[in-house]
Every structure is written in C-alpha cells, then in structure tokens.
Chains A and B, each alone.
Chain A
Amino acid sequence: MLSFVSRRLLATLAVLLVASFVVYMLTAYSGDPLEDLRTQNDPASVAKRATLTEKLDLGTPPFFRYFKWLGSAASCVIGQCNLGISVTRGDEPVAHALGNAMQSTLSLVLLATVLSILLGVAIGMTTALRQYSGYDYTVTFAAFIFYSLPIFWVAVLLKEFGAIRFNEFLGNPSIPWWIALLIGIGLAFVIQAIVGGHLRLRLRTAGISLVLTTAILILLDITQWFRSPSIGIVGVAILAIGLGALMLFVTSNLTKRTFQLSVGATVVAVIALWYPLQFLWFYFNNPLAIPVVAIIIAGIGVLAGFFLGGDDRTEAMRVAGITGALATTTLVLDQMIMRWGEYVQLIPLRSGVISTIGANTPTLANNPDTWLRMLDSSTHLILPTAALMIISIAGYTRYTRSSLLEVLNQDYVRTARAKGLPEATVIMRHAFRNTLIPIATIVAFDFGGVIGGAIITERVFAWQGMGALFNQGLYHVDVNLVMGVFLVTGVAAVFFNILADLAYSALDPRIRITES
C-alpha cells in the first residue's frame, strides 16, 4: 500500500513537471505582455517597457525562465512559497493572490458541489426505485436537457429570471390565492409521482400535499412572512424535528425505539438551547461560534445515544451526533434571517436582495456583525450556486440511477428481501451503501476539480476566484499568475486522483491495489 502510494506519487510528480513545462511555454508564447505599451505613443512608454522587461526577465528565453521559475516554486516544499509577482495585479505576489482567490472559489464551488451531490443522489435514487415510470422518464429527459445546456447561457437567464424577477417579487411580496393553489397542484403532482403506488395511495398523497402546500403558502402570505421573514423558535423546532426524522429515515431506523429516543433527545436539546444561544451568538459574534456550537450539540447527541441507545449504542451515538451537528445549521439560519429587515435597509437601493454580481456588498464587507455578513454572502451565493448546480445535478442523477439499478439486481438484495426485511431497510441499508461506492470515486474526482473554480460562472457573476485569476493571467500573458493557478489545480487534481483510488479499494474490498 505504502509502496503503491509512493510509486503513484513519483509518477504523478513527473507528469506534473512535464505538464507545467508545457503550460509555461504555451503561455509564454501565447502573446506579448508588452503589447499594450508598444501601441502607445506616450514617450514614457519606452521607459515603462524597459522596467517591465526587466521585471519579467523577458531578456531570458522562456525555456530558461521556466527553470528559474521552477527553482523558486520548489521553495513551496519547505513552506515558503515564492511564485513570483503578478504584474497585471499591481505586483501582487502570486501566492497572496492565490490565497484570496482560493477562499472565494471554495465558498462558491464547494457549496454547489456538495448540494448537487446530495440532491443528485436523492433524485437518482428515486428515479431508480420508480424505474420506467412517468417520473423516471421525465427526470431522464430533464437530465439530458441539463447536460446540453451551456452554462453561460443558463447563468444569464438565471440573472434575468431568477434574480431580477424574484427581487421584484420581494419588493412587493404577495401571493394571490390562485397562485398558491397552482404551486400546490404542481408540487402535489410531483410528490405523488415520486411516492408512487396504487391510484388510491397516489390520490391521497396528492391530496395531502396539495392542502398542506397551499395552506402554508396562504398562511405565509397572510402573516406577511415574505416581507419580514423569520424562523424563530417555532421554525427551528420544525426544521430540527424534520431533520431528525430525515436522519432516522436515511439510516433506516425510523421504527426503532432506541434511535427515536436518542435522536429525539438531541432535537429537544437543540430547541431548548435556542434561547440561551441567543446570548452566545450576540456576544461571541464570530464565525468560530458555529463549529463550537456544532461540537457541543453533537456532543449532546453522542451522550444521548450513549445513555438511550441500548443495544445499538454505537450506531445511535453516531446518528444522534450527526443530527446534532447538522441541526446547528438551523440555528445559524435563524440568526441570519433575523437580520433580514436590517439587511434590506443597508444594501444599496438599486440592487435587489438577490444579488447578481460579486461575492459581497462592498459597503458591508467590514461590517462587525458576522451574521449580517453571512446573510450578505448567502444572497450573493444563491445565483452562481444555482447555475453550477443545474449543470452538475444531471450527472449525479444519472450515475446514481444506474448504480442503484445495478445493485438492486444483485443476489444479496434478493436475499435481504427474501428473509422478509422491510423494503425501506433493504434499500437504505443493503442497496444504498453499495450504490455509493462508484459514486464516491466520481465525487473525489470532482472535488479535485473544485479548486480550479468555475471559469465561466465566475466571469458571468463577476466573482473573483481562481477561474477569474486564470482568465486574467491568460488575457494579459501574465505567466506567473497562470502558473500559480495551474500549480494549485494540478496538485489538487493529482491528490484527489490518488485519493479516489484509495477510497475505491477501501470501500470495496473486492478491489485490491496491486503492486504492479
């Protein structure tokens, strides 16, 4: 195993070296960094050209310049990165520019990737379970369309219809009863298609969801929720209970008393902590509060699992702990929404609540209130995240569908059914876990690509991430900048590639890493 990893590392290091050489030469020969200055008639431009030539060491042929660059880049191994300076960014050190860009890219692409994996796997599973149904065909067709969408086109459409129209709605939020009814009917139709079953069951599902959706929408409209949204303790309670139920369902423990008790105790703890935590959020106004609270609540969950878990102690501890950690998000969400009214007052009048440009509102970037800043970045994240998700959900849906169908044909699934296990247990415990094996490798792959950023999305939404940096470097023939981005993306790709191989052999014991 160790020899496998070291061998792979050596081989990929060689690959990286060759690739970096090719990229360096290609970028260096792709244009003239002095072109702007050459066309100017300004007498000072000659002097500027001379200084720039010296700064970029243009006198040396690119072939030798590459080795100079490599020599200073090698210092990264000992922890002091010197990747040169970026002339187009006002002589900013490339390592510094990369640090900022990476942060912004990760917040954008990481969220989109995680959400698309979760949603894509969920949709893919439902389509596989309802194979050859109208729902399956619809989703398959939709996936094909999403595959075929150019992201720059989607992004512009989202800007127009997602943001501008939605902002108009938020400016004067009222839902007429007939629109509430229409939304209800649409949702009811979708839900009954997913749940499936006989006609009576379908009708009942559709009826319940229709009444519930319409009632909730009308209630929200009457109470003017969209004008001044809030979650409060009631919202937190509803969300936390829903989350607990979902966790129980996903781990197929919905009917087990011990699990109900431990997860239930965790949920109760979250609700009980809502009030005392208000003080913590207020006085300890720092993003660090989130992991601290998450750990505390997860600890409560683990304790609940320990005392109430009975025979399934280990698993109950795990399920309740994860539920607790995830439930922290509802508390954070509550804090963010609480500042809605204040936020609407603070943002510039012309731009709507859902922003189409940049990563944050410049005037709010240094606001002392953490939760307000988080709300601000969330409203900026919504659109680019949606654009990225639309494109990548389709792929995960298809992978999960075919993977689950393959697993469902296996003998052990038949055995599980034959010994009388409930279908939910067969799916969630026997089939689902094995479905995830091939998906895990794809996920590892995609995370390797995450750091490269989304060049087109960043461009359309004016987001200053890795993609934008790369774009800028290419446009102005800024070799150092391009090489910096390439180095980070290349190393990430290689690292996650190896990780994918290792994960595959760890998850599936039938696959062995061979020494050849």
Chain B
Amino acid sequence: MKLLIKGGRVIDPANNRDEILDILVVDDKISKVDKSIDEEADKVINAQGKWVMPGLIDLHVHFREPGFERKETIRTGSRAAAMGGFTTVCCMPNTEPVCDNDIVVEFIKLKAERAGIVNVLPIGSISKGMKGEELSDIGRMSKAGICALSEDGKSVLNAGLMKNAMRYASMFKLPILDHCEDPSLTGKGQMNAGERAAFMGLAGISNDSEEVIVARDMILAQSTNTPIHLCHISTAGSVTLIRQAKERGVKVTAEATPHHFTLCDEDITDYDANYKMAPPLRSKSDREAIRQALSDGTIEVISTDHAPHHTDEKNCEFQLALNGIIGLETSFPLANTVLVEGGYLTPYQLVEKMSANPAKILGINKGNLSEGSVADITIADPNAEYVIDVEDMVSKAKNTPFGGMHVKGKILYTIVGGEMSVEDGKLMKR
C-alpha cells in the first residue's frame, strides 16, 4: 500500500523543516520525504495549502475506562482523538479501578488495540489507589508498557513519598506528569478567587493552591536531579516560578490547556458548569501570562486535559458539578485561532508544542516525519473557518463551553501507522 501526500507545507520541527514537500508512505512507514516525488501510489492526497504535521500527541486525556464508561470509553475517546488530529494520546490513571498495576495497564492496551483508531498509551498512578500512601507497582507497570506516571486530579501531598517516586521512576525513565494543587488552599473553592467569584457568590480558589506545589515539586526535581513535567499550568505565578527554576537548571517542562489560554474567569456568567475545571479558569492577566509563556518557550506543551462527563454531572448545582471539559476535538482549532492567528506562536512552534515536544518528554520515537519512522501524520487546513457545533462531536460527552465559537483551522486527515483514521474530515474507523 502506497500513499503519496503531494505539495503540502511539511512542518516537522524534529527535523528542523518547514517547507513544501511530498511525503511517500509505504505500508506503515514514511518511506521518503522530498521536493517532488514521482511514484505510482495507491492513493494520492493533494495537500496544497495544507499543513502536513507529525501526528499530534496529547500527554493528558481521561478516557474513563475502566469504571466510568457512561462518560467515555477508550473507543469513543479514540474517535474524538482522531477527529482532533491526535495519533497518540496518554490516558490518565484515575479510573475505577485505578491504573496502579500491570493488570489494568494490560486491559487498557487491549481495549485500545481492539478500537484500533489511535495509539493509546496508559499512564500509571504514582501511589496505590491514588491514596498518596505507598508507591504503585511502578516497575511492573513499566514492563507492561506505561508511558508515564501521574496522580492527575490531585497531588501526592506527602513530599517524602513524592521524592521517592521521582527517584524510583527515574530508573525506568518514566516521566512524572504532575498535577499541582494543595487541597487545603483550594478548600471549598469553585472558581478562580477574585472579583468575578465575589460577583458570582462562589467560593474562590486562589493561585497559591497551584503555586505552592509547583514550587515544592521543582525543588524536589532539583534535589533528586530528575525531570518533572507540570500539568495544566494556569497562573502567572507558576510561570514565574518555572522560569526561575529553568534558569538554575531544574529539568522542568510544563503544559497549558486550550481552555486556560482561551478563556478566563470573566467568561463565567450563569453558573454553567461547562466552565468548571481544575485548575479553574483564571484571570485575564494569568491567561496573558500563559500565552506569553507558550510564546517564549517557558511552557513547551499544549495538552487538552480531555475530561468527559455525563450531562447529569454538569447540568446541576455548580458546586456539585464535576471538574473538567472535553478538549480533543477543539484543541487544534483553538490553538491555531488563539495562538497562531493571535501572534503568540508560529505554525512551527505550534507543531513543536502539540507533537515534537510531547514525544521528547515521553522519550518515544514519534512526533517526527523522518524517513523510516512510523507513519503517524496529521493534515490540517489552517484557513478553514467554521463555528464549533457540539452536536458534531464524536466524543461520548458534550461538556464543552466552546459550542458556538468561531474558529479557524480544521483537521482533514489523521493517519495512524499508515492507515486513515480520519479522511477528508470524516471518521473512517469506528
């Protein structure tokens, strides 16, 4: 099977390339990348005016399986990933049971393989049952194929245990994806502390609830000389702390979500829980700091924190509503609209943050369009304009505040291991 992608703008930061090129895929591999490839192919994609990128990689999704299949399954989440241009996603361990042992890891891998839509890499929990008391079976999970460790949804509050986890994980070269939140500072908070919360009568969550753990875990990364990846950074203070830590040589990387660089607390008007997430939407000035940090490289990854919930879990009292929104199908258009069109990122930097850098953090041979690599390729039309329609989404969940928003940038092809998961904007695998 030969697939020829003709005349697209090939954006491939891993190979320091951004030019008009052809790509020949033979079976599951990229066979040739060159100026003008004349070859008989079984299929030809005319990519003129389109971006041809290494398949997008999301370090941070929740696929809810096992345990919460009414919200999302590995199969339905994989569909959403493919429609969003993602060829590889890493799924967080806060399932039921928690992914804290090799049996659950094998289950997730099996389900992902059966779905066969995108690459789904399981993340193991740091502590057993995510209780923060003792380490999970990290070594056995590593053998079974986890890509990282995380306690996402909360922090490991015992600093000694966290330090041990960092030292132990480094043996297996497993990155730690760190959710930073001190629950004693979050308290009963429901949204960002500030004027909007005062106006709405909702208890506030102050920036320090994130920043104290950001600071703590960067100190631990320094003392153990191990890497740390900070999830969904939301405050200006965290950005400053990360910059300072990088200057003194701490091996820290960080991610931001589309909702934190697109929205702010002022968007919360009517107790609509589709605006409720952890960390919360912050102030306008925090949002600007996040955009600047993406621009100057302080934050090197865009992750969705795709967090599906059932309608009942969002259409209820704000305080009872669960945290999180879905993000896979809106991530690329939002990043393109807000960050590229907004002048914060070049297309090249965008691809770094959505593919090359996540691959680097995971230490996997993906996120590039090198000859000989597995053919994970995403093709997008950066100029297609449309209004986001929640009804069009393929995720099982509909919890997003982005319905009705005008965006620019549409995923046309998601090619996973040489096979079309999305073709011409349509889902090919169910």
Chains A and B come from one and the same complex = no
